[in-house]
């Protein structure tokens, strides 16, 4: 071997040897297809990347593997029957999907939810934001190669919250809990008390521990700072929403802008990043979880008594008057909107989901070009996509 | 100091590792299937049919009204009503099939049912060898006694029982009142007829048909 | 924030009265929209984005809607004098009119700079649903339309001119039809499964040879 290729190994000054890079190969582009079955792609998602050495020169996202034409299904179902289907969009935060859909239908049909219902929706919506961010932090660290410890701690806490939600709604992920102008059932004081104990006890401890474990960790800083940078101008133009946008320093939170539901009654802050890199996007999630806990505790404090369902609103056999409505809320991943057109029949004429994960992927290539392949994986992880929502 | 963040992290992992031997708060997993988590009352998986009494066929609360079939979002319910010898539709199902492989456990059938006859089960170990027929549940597999419903969700089952008993009591009272009123009216009519036309035989009042 | 009428008047003043029409929404949401003429649409979009009073820098949602041809029956009543001198007769004539269909692209615009809570909705319509289905792409104005217009192209078949990379996005490249159109016929050659619904079963059966004896049992037969 050494006879035919005498100089393939170069001796380094410290005594080690390195393999020489053949000059005629240098600069050749390597096309690789990452996914669709790859653990780093969070589902069936493919990235067609072109590499120069280890540096990405182009990257085309390919998806649709989970496409089931959710919107067509929505046009053949009654308004009520669509609620369980919305659970299956972003299955890590189903309650906010329910909420966005009933919010749009309430706009379409002119229903007003009751006071108590609004408070409970805020509690449940913020709880599902926490569940989503807990997952994100765990999976992002998994993408970084921190095999399993932070993910396991995150899933342990998520499990406790899912147990609480199972007790309330009967299911762990596909809750099907919100109804037009209300909720399916009322929430007991005992359940709320237990949620409060949990958030102030074990969950607060989890947040502190996760912060101590990760936020100041030198390896995490080295891997995430300065990678996957998204400039605010591009972020706005490309319609990025949610923590990904705020990490770039754009102060835009639909809870504050639209003041939908009763969010203007709560005192909470919108965390903003400065650099728009992966670390900022990670920090947004850690900080938003603390703000969500604050909102939940305030909502529990102010929760009024009263009916949970609007007696005028009906869920079964709903036939809204002809017209259209676009309703949007701030879901954990960004702006989740539903655009509905009614023609007076029991089925929507047009049922459109504005999926935040899908639109946030628009700039994936811009964020990854010039980075190494390993950074592309964590950039994708920090965008936070769920393929159930991207592919619909 | 460089590396202090990493050392802090090791301290956290050590705390969790040691803690997991002493408290369940630090524990992540349980040893399924030897140890099973207790399911909450509201936990739901797939629907089943409730029957009262001992007979799973005569005691079915289902009246084959087909509301659940119409409301079911993935259309996994299939109902054909029983007919008597003359071909008249009876108020019970001859076929009641639920395709568990299609069902998504959304509970809308339970909300839609006006007779409290379909409820959510909480079984989750339903793996079968036959992918098609094995998960297509027929009426006799779906029918489960009310005592089973009490067993899995005592709160709801008691509430349903009380409500049904109350409805039954009200219906009986109403029927009794109606019967009493009818008897009184009949007696009055008979008396009137007797007074007015002693020669003609009084016609018995036609019983009300519904 | 200006009202939609004011925006319409300003667009009409700059691009001509034919460039914009107000489409009212009768529902309780009352989200009215502006129908733009497609030849001026991209310039109007740039105007909406850059105008200091509007600054609609965020195109939140872009989607398609299919409006198939619709037959409208109009009943007109005319009074005809009786030639014999009697009282005038009222004659009803029914005329059938074919309202031509179109494909529509709907864009929901917000302003991140001004933090507008209500959307400004613009709509573009194709000439028909069959051979003239081009619209100008708004991706050069708002990058967020890139994937959404690809999705509209994929599912509705609107061809966006000026789009940088117009390919199918959710369906596979070899797929022929546009599944979100109202007249799309879904395939019925799914894998044979004994679902409880006989009509589905019958349609699926036509695609497969008769199944073996162990699976011929239809759900009609109860055990």
pLDDT score for C217: 46
Sheet holding B89-99, edge to edge: B77-83, B89-99, B136-137
Q: Tell whether C27 lies on the interface with A, counting CB pairs under 8 A.
A: yes
Q: Would you list the DSSP string of C120-181?
A: EEEEEE-S-SSS--EEE--TTT-TTHHHHHHHHHHHH-PEEET-TT---SSS-TT--S-TTS
B210 pLDDT above the threshold of 80: no
Task: Answer whether B47's CB lies under 8 Å from B123's CB.
Answer: no
A15 pLDDT above the threshold of 80: no
pLDDT score for A12: 61
pLDDT score for A297: 92
> Encoding tokens for residue C102?
């179109």
Is B177 within a domain? no
Q: Would you list the DSSP string of C1-18?
A: ---HHHHHHHHHHHH-GG
> Encoding tokens for residue A217?
């960790």
pLDDT score for A19: 55
**Binning pLDDT at 50, 70 and 90, where does residue A353 land?**
very high
pLDDT in tens, A186-237: 888 899 999 999 999 889 889 988 888 888 888 888 888 888 888 898 899 9
Q: Which residue of B has its CA nearest to C193?
A: B132
A25 pLDDT above the threshold of 60: no
Shortest distance, CA B152 to any CA of chain C (angstroms): 27
Task: Please state whether beta strands B118-120 and A43-44 pair in parallel, antiparallel, or not at all (unpaired).
Answer: unpaired
Tell me the C-alpha distance between A41 and B165, whole Å.
Answer: 55
Q: B-chain residues within 8 Å CB-CB of C222?
A: 94-95, 138-140
Q: Which of A171, A205, A314, A317 to mutate to test the interface with B (most CBs of B within 10 A)?
A: A171
CB contact under 8 A, A176 and B106: yes
Task: Answer whether C107's CB lies under 8 Å from C139's CB.
Answer: no
Q: A-chain residues within 8 Å CB-CB of B3?
A: 218
**Binning pLDDT at 50, 70 and 90, where does residue A9 land?**
low
Is A53 within a domain? no
Q: CB-based contacts of B168: which residues, under 8 Å, 6+ apart?
A: none
**Binning pLDDT at 50, 70 and 90, where does residue A119 land?**
very high
CB contact under 8 A, B132 and C215: yes
Name which of C193, C215, C219 is nearest B97 (Cβ-Cβ): C219
A131 pLDDT above the threshold of 90: yes
Is B19 within a domain? no
Q: Which of C192, C195, C196, C216 to mutate to test the interface with B (most CBs of B within 10 A)?
A: C196
Tell me the C-alpha distance between C193 and C209, whole Å.
Answer: 13
B206 pLDDT above the threshold of 90: no
CB contact under 8 A, B3 and A218: yes
CB contact under 8 A, A354 and C170: no
Task: Answer whether A370's CB lies under 8 Å from A56's CB.
Answer: yes
pLDDT score for B124: 86
Q: Which residue of A has its CA nearest to B25?
A: A202
Is B147 within a domain? yes
Tell me the C-alpha distance between A341 and A324, whole Å.
Answer: 4
**Binning pLDDT at 50, 70 and 90, where does residue C219 land?**
very low
| Domain segments of chain C as ranges | 4-67+102-161, 187-223
Point out the least confidently predicted range of A6-10, B116-120, B186-190, C24-28: A6-10
Is B195 within a domain? no
Point out the least confidently predicted range of A24-28, B5-9, C9-13: A24-28
Is B178 within a domain? no
Structural domain count, chain B: 1
Q: Cα angle vertex A323, ends A321, A324, to 5°?
A: 130
Shortest distance, CA C4 to any CA of chain A (angstroms): 16
A48 exposure class (CB count in 10 Å sphere: 0-12, 13-18, 19+): middle
Q: How far is CA A191 from the centre of its chain?
A: 26
Per the listing, tokens 């997991």 go with B20
Tell me the C-alpha distance between A357 and A241, whole Å.
Answer: 9
> Which range has the top average pLDDT, B4-13, B131-140, C153-162?
C153-162
Q: Tell whether C39 lies on the interface with A, counting CB pairs under 8 A.
A: no
Tell me the C-alpha distance between B172 and B160, whole Å.
Answer: 18
Task: Answer whether C124's CB lies under 8 Å from C104's CB.
Answer: yes
Shortest distance, CA B97 to any CA of chain C (angstroms): 7
CB contact under 8 A, A82 and B73: yes
Q: Tell whether C63 lies on the interface with A, counting CB pairs under 8 A.
A: yes
pLDDT score for A98: 92
Nearest to A367 by CA among A275, A284, A283, A288: A275
pLDDT score for A126: 92
Task: Answer whether B145's CB lies under 8 Å from B157's CB.
Answer: no
Helices (H) and strands (E) in chain B, counts: 6, 6
A130 pLDDT above the threshold of 90: yes
> Encoding tokens for residue A151?
């993910």
Residue A118: give its domain's CATH number: 1.10.645.10
C78 pLDDT above the threshold of 60: yes
Q: Which residue of A has its CA nearest to B73?
A: A81
First-to-last C-alpha distance (Å) of chain C: 68
Is A40 within a domain? no
Q: Is A62 helix (H, G, I), strand (E, B) or coil?
A: strand
Q: Which of C195, C199, C214 to mutate to test the interface with B (most CBs of B within 10 A)?
A: C195
A365 pLDDT above the threshold of 80: yes
Count of Cβ atoms closer than 10 Å to residue A186 Cβ:
16
Tell me the C-alpha distance between A277 and A281, whole Å.
Answer: 6
C25 pLDDT above the threshold of 50: yes
The mean pLDDT of B71-83, rounded to a whole number, is 84
CB contact under 8 A, B111 and A184: yes
A39 pLDDT above the threshold of 70: yes
**CATH topology classification for C4-67+102-161:** Beta Polymerase; domain 2 (3.30.460)
Tell me the C-alpha distance between B59 and A383, whole Å.
Answer: 55
Structural domain count, chain A: 1
Chains contacting C with at least 3 CB pairs below 8 Å? A, B
Q: B-chain residues within 8 Å CB-CB of A78?
A: 71
Shortest distance, CA C147 to any CA of chain A (angstroms): 6
> Encoding tokens for residue A320?
């809204």
Per-chain mean pLDDT for chain A: 86
A367 pLDDT above the threshold of 50: yes
Q: Would you list the DSSP string of B18-40?
A: HHTTT-GGG-----TTTS-PPPP
Question: What range defines the domain where residue B141 resides?
Answer: 47-152
Q: Which of C141, C144, C152, C165 to mutate to test the interface with A (most CBs of A within 10 A)?
A: C144
CB contact under 8 A, A237 and C121: no
B204 pLDDT above the threshold of 60: no
pLDDT score for A122: 92
pLDDT in tens, A276-334: 889 999 999 999 999 999 999 999 998 888 888 877 777 788 888 888 899 999 999 98
Bridge partners (DSSP) listed for residue B49: B118, B143
Count of Cβ atoms closer than 10 Å to residue C223 Cβ:
7
Q: What percent of chain B has pLDDT over 90?
A: 0
Q: Which residue of A has its CA nearest to B109?
A: A81
Is A41 within a domain? no
The mean pLDDT of A368-384, rounded to a whole number, is 87
pLDDT in tens, C171-214: 888 888 888 888 888 777 666 555 556 666 666 666 666 655 55
Complex ipTM: 0.82
Q: Which residue of B has its CA nearest to A184?
A: B111
CB contact under 8 A, B97 and C215: no
Q: Which residue of B has its CA nearest to C191?
A: B132
**Binning pLDDT at 50, 70 and 90, where does residue A101 land?**
very high
> Encoding tokens for residue C4?
């939609």
Is B124 within a domain? yes
Shortest distance, CA C145 to any CA of chain A (angstroms): 8
Which secondary structure element, helix H or strand E, spans residue C33, and what is its range? strand C33-36
First-to-last C-alpha distance (Å) of chain B: 89
Is A36 within a domain? no
C145 pLDDT above the threshold of 70: yes
Name which of A152, A170, A202 is nearest B42 (Cβ-Cβ): A170
Task: Answer whether C20's CB lies under 8 Å from C7's CB.
Answer: no
Name which of B12, B25, B40 is nearest A212 (Cβ-Cβ): B12
Residue B134: give its domain's CATH number: 3.30.70.3270
Count of Cβ atoms closer than 10 Å to residue A298 Cβ:
18
């Amino acid at each position: 071997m050494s006879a035919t290729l005498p100089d393939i190994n170069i001796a380094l000054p410290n005594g080690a040897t390195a393999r020489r890079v053949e000059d005629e190969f240098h600069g050749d582009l390597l096309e690789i297809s990452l996914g669709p079955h790859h653990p780093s792609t969070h589902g069936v998602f493919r990235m067609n990347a072109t590499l120069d050495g280890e540096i990405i020169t182009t990257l085309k996202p390919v998806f649709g593997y989970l496409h089931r034409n959710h919107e067509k299904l929505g046009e053949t179902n009654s308004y009520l029957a669509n609620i369980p289907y919305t659970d299956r969009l972003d299955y890590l935060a189903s309650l906010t999907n329910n909420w966005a859909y009933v919010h749009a239908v309430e706009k379409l049909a002119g229903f007003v939810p009751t006071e108590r219902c609004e408070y409970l929706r805020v509690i449940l919506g913020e709880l599902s934001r926490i569940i989503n961010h807990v997952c994100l932090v765990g999976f992002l660290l998994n993408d970084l190669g921190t095999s399993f410890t932070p993910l396991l701690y995150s899933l342990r806490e998520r499990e406790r919250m899912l147990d609480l939600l199972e007790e309330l709604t009967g299911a762990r992920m596909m809750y099907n809990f919100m109804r037009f102008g209300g909720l399916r059932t009322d929430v007991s004081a005992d359940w709320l008390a237990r949620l409060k104990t949990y958030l102030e006890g074990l969950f607060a401890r989890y947040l502190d521990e996760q912060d101590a474990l990760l936020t100041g960790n030198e390896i995490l800083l080295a891997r995430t700072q300065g990678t996957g940078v998204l400039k605010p101008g591009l972020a706005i133009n490309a319609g990025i929403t949610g923590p990904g946008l705020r990490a770039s320093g754009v102060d835009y939170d639909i809870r504050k802008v639209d003041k939908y539901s009763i969010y203007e009654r709560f005192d909470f802050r919108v965390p903003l990043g400065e650099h728009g890199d992966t670390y900022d996007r990670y920090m947004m999630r850690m900080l938003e979880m603390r703000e969500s806990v604050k909102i939940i505790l305030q909502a529990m404090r102010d929760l009024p008594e009263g009916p949970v369902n609007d007696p005028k609103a009906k869920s079964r056999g709903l036939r809204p008057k002809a017209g259209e409505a676009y309703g949007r809320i701030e879901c954990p991943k960004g702006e989740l909107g539903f655009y509905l057109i009614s023609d007076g029949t029991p089925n929507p004429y047009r049922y459109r989901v504005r999926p935040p994960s899908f639109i946030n992927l628009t700039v994936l290539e811009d964020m990854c070009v010039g980075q190494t392949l390993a950074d592309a994986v964590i950039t994708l992880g920090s965008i936070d996509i769920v393929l159930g929502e991207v592919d619909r | 100091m460089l590396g202090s963040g990493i050392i802090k992290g090791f301290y956290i992992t050590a705390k969790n590792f040691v803690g997991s031997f002493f408290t369940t708060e630090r524990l992540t997993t349980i040893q399924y299937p030897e140890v099973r988590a207790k399911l909450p009352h509201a936990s739901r998986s797939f629907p089943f049919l409730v029957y009262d009494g001992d007979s799973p066929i005569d005691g079915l609360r289902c009246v084959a009204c087909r509301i659940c079939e119409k409301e079911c979002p993935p259309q996994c319910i299939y109902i054909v009503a029983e007919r008597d010898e003359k071909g008249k539709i009876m108020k019970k199902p001859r076929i009641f099939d639920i395709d568990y492989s299609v069902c998504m456990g959304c509970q809308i059938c339970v909300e839609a049912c006006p007779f409290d006859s379909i409820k959510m089960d909480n079984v989750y170990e339903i793996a079968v060898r036959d992918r098609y027929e094995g998960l297509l549940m027929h009426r006799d597999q779906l029918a489960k006694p009310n005592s089973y419903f009490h067993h899995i969700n005592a709160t709801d089952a008691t509430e349903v029982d009380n409500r049904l008993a109350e409805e039954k009591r009200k219906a009986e009272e109403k029927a009794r009142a109606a019967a009493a009123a009818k008897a009184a009216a009949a007696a009055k009519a008979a008396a009137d007829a007797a007074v007015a036309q002693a020669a003609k035989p009084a016609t018995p009042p036609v019983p009300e048909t519904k | 924030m200006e009202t939609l009428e004011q925006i319409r008047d300003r667009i009409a003043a700059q691009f001509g009265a034919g460039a914009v029409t107000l489409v009212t929404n009768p529902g309780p949401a009352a989200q009215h929209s502006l129908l733009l003429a497609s030849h001026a649409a991209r310039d109007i979009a740039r105007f909406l984005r850059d105008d200091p009073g509007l600054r609609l820098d965020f195109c939140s949602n872009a989607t398609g809607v299919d409006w198939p041809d619709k037959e409208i029956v109009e009943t007109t009543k005319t009074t005809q004098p009786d030639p014999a001198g009697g009282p005038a007769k009222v004659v009803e004539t029914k005329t059938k009119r074919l309202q031509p269909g179109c494909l529509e692209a709907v864009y929901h615009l917000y302003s991140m700079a001004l933090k507008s809570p209500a959307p400004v909705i613009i709509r573009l319509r194709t000439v028909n649903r069959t051979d003239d289905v081009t619209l100008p792409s708004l991706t050069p104005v708002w990058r967020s339309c890139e994937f959404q217009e690809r999705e509209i192209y994929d599912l509705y078949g609107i061809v966006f001119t000026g789009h940088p990379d117009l390919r199918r996005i959710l369906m596979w490249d070899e797929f022929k039809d546009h599944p979100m159109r109202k007249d799309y016929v879904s395939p019925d050659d799914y894998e044979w499964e004994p679902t409880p619904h006989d009509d589905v079963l019958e349609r699926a059966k036509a695609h497969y040879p008769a199944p073996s004896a162990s699976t011929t049992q239809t759900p009609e037969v109860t055990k």
